[in-house]
Structure 1
Amino acid sequence: MTDYPLVSIIAINFNQLRVTIEFLQSVSKISYPNYEVIIVDNASKEDTSALLKQQFPEFIFIRSEENLGFAGGNNLGIRKAKGEYFMLLNNDTEVETGFLEPLVEAMQANPKIGMVGSKVRFFDSPETIQYAGATPMTKYTATSHFIGHNQKDEGQYDQQTITPFVSGAAMMTSRSVCKKVGLMAGFFFLYYEELDWQERIRKAGYEIHYIPQSLVFHKESISVGKNSPLQAYWKSRNRLLLIRRNYNQFNVFISFLFLTFISYPYHLLKYIARRDLVSIKVHSIALGWHYFNAFNMKRIHQNDYL
């Protein structure tokens, strides 16, 4: 590369000082010569910005007084960023030193590309793939699958390809795309917001590419905990929200039927058998949100902009 435009690396911290320090130690070693790092603290119990600033004086630390979620926190970081490109990373990732150059090269080489994503492997099993591309979204159930998931990386997914979605743990877009398409819809808060964003980017005429030469390692589910009630609520609510925002009315109708009369009763019986009252409440509230907002199209289609 001979041209190195400024890249803004953005990540969110929420009560994870140790993990965020490990993340910053990783990105501080990258080979790309022109970047800034922005950490958005999403109203953690303790304000650690001063401590982090002391340890990493070259980086930018922003504290939000309220938890804005994944979407809102990244949007805040993007609005503060100065870069031509925005590299969104989970703070529970660590990166290879040369991970950024292939992403920038791909976007510079093809103006049709609106977003790129790294190959992602599991941090605790560094030869095992988490993400190497994705299958198309099923429009009735909002399900997609990561290609290569849980496979040993033997180079079988080392070709750059167009993909429906990149991993939200490591994705890059440009300022020009954000000006045209907008940012993530903040009211998603957590889960599916990056998929909704990518649907909108593709609808605007851009391609999304998987870039295997860029490698990131992910400590999966540290941020909200595996199978937590918080995780269950936002996944349940936002799954249908994604469908309502991006697909036609027939898809939405079938999805309502599927979730109301098949998926919800199935999970309800499982929770009753386990006497899991928390999960019963969480899934009931998530589905009820959609019936309460069944005709509130303004709320369903709200967006955030740069």
Structure 2
Amino acid sequence: MTGLKPRVSVIVLTWNGKRYLPGCLGALAVQTFRDFEVILVDNGSEDGSGQYVREAFPWVRLVELPENLGFAEGNNRGLATAQGKLIVTLNNDTLAEPGFLAELVGAAERYPRAGMIAALLVNFYDPARIDAAGIAPGFDGLGYCLGHGEPVGAPWDTSREVFGPSAGAALYRREMIDEIGFFDAAFFAYAEDFDLAWRGRRAGWPCMTAPQAVVRHVHSATSGTESPFTIYHIHRNKWYVLLKDWPTRLLLRHLPRILMADLAALSVALLKGRGGAALRARWGVLAALPWLLVKRREDDGKRAPLPVEQLFARGLSLAALKRKLGMS
């Protein structure tokens, strides 16, 4: 944190998450890498988050929004004030290790063509377990957190190419953002990082991991893992990504598996009393279909053949699939 234009801008979004800010911002204050700024976007909180940050962390730049604009647009508003060439997104329910930023920046230097760098998120309460070592689509159309639930260590302890980073702790190169844009506000929350990873890859920007950039993550602390809000946006946004981003050839090839997985997810939601949110999500997709097709046509000229199928999530355990479908 210097008086000059910082190299890194860290955007932290919060919505009624005041209880997490002492840990999150306190961990950023003791980073070994110092050439950075922190932008705290208060997404219309009603718990005094803004006033608390002003008093406890006066070095943090505060962007206060009048209402909750969602994860995607909230981060976009933070980006509008960011000065760094490297943009880091960080969830408020995280605790970054002291070398977190140094490791991310080091990876960005080692891989100058990588537009995205994935940090290693570990379980807040069991840091020996991985929360996400990156993200990847599955051939069933679902989106997966790589390594979720696995022990920290091999094969996730060495840098590798992955499909994309979890936006809960990720570095994005501004040069890439200037070319393709940042998060799509239409997603509001969930899967916006998958959409951004697809767009980045279409433009030729791969993603590498920084396995020593470690962050402890509570996971779904703001919205809950099975709230109607979460169910609605996960079910809807999965189809947003499929219809907006997947190459036609890939989508048609795997459509039977995608439809079977969707039926299974809907059935589980109905059995668990969350069918209303899941059904509304599908109506939301139908209502957005004209917009999705327009976006798809706009991107057709950029839809170069993507050799990304080898980066799709493979060899998933039954437990991983059950977690994704909400069965455990």
| Equivalent position of 2:82 in the other structure | 81
Q: Does residue 141 in structure 1 map to residue 147 in structure 2? A: no
Q: Evaluate the alpha carbon distance shift between residue 295 and residue 23 of structure 1 in structure 2; reply closer, same or farther with a 3 A threshold.
A: same
Q: Is the 8 A contact 1:192 1:242 kept in 2?
A: yes
* CA offsets 1:102-145 (integer angstroms, 9 cap, x no match): 211221233211010111111100111222344x4235523334
| 1:196 paired residue number | 195
| Residues 266/84 of structure 1: CA separation in 2 closer, same or farther (3 Å cut) | closer
Question: 5+ unaligned residues in a row in structure 1: which ranges?
Answer: none
Paired residue secondary structure (2:137): coil
For the residues of structure 1 that align with 2:268 and 2:49, how far apart are their CA atoms? 41
In 2, are the aligned partners of 1:142 and 1:240 still within 8 Å (CA)?
A: no
Residues 67-126 of structure 1 deviation map (CA, whole Å, 9 limit, x = unaligned): 111111111111111111111000001011111112112212332110101111111001
Instruction: Give the deviation of 1:258 after TM superposition.
Output: 6.4
The answer for the alignment partner of 1:214 in structure 2 is 213
CA contact (8 A) 1:11 1:39 kept: yes
What residue in structure 2 maps to residue 41 of structure 1? 42
Residue by residue, what CA displacement relative to the aligned partner does 1:193-222 show, whole Å, maximum 9, x if unpaired? 011101111111111001112111111111
**Identical counterparts, % of pairs:** 26
SS in 2 for 1:86: strand
Aligned residue runs from structure 1 range 282-297, under 5 A: 282-296=277-291, 297=293
Select the residue among 275, 283, 294 that pairs with 1:280: 275
1:127 aligns with 2:147: no
Aligned equivalents of 1:70 and 1:255: distance in 2? 29
In angstroms, what is the RMSD of aligned CA positions?
Answer: 2.5
| 1:164 has 2:154 as partner | no
| Aligned residue identity for 1:201 | G
Do the aligned partners of 1:139 and 1:243 also contact (CA within 8 Å) in 2?
no
In 1, Cα distance between equivalents of 2:197 and 2:142: 13
Determine helix, strand or coil for the equivalent of 1:77. Answer: helix
User: Which deviates further from its counterpart, 105-114 or 54-63?
Assistant: 105-114
AA of the residue aligned to 1:165: G
The alignment covers a number of residue pairs equal to: 294
Letter in 2 for 1:286: A
- 1:98 maps to 99
Secondary structure of 1:120's partner? strand
Specify the alignment match of 1:183 in structure 2.
182
**Counterpart for residue 64 of structure 1:** 65
Evaluate the alpha carbon distance shift between residue 221 and residue 145 of structure 1 in structure 2; reply closer, same or farther with a 3 A threshold. Answer: closer
Distance across 2 between alignment mates of 1:127 and 1:173: 26
Unaligned runs of 5+ in 2: 300-328
Given that 1:139 and 1:247 are in contact with CA atoms closer than 8 Å, whether structure 2 keeps it comes out as no
Mean Cα displacement is larger for which, 234-243 or 206-215?
206-215
- Structure 1 residues 270 and 164: CA distance shift in structure 2, 3 A: closer
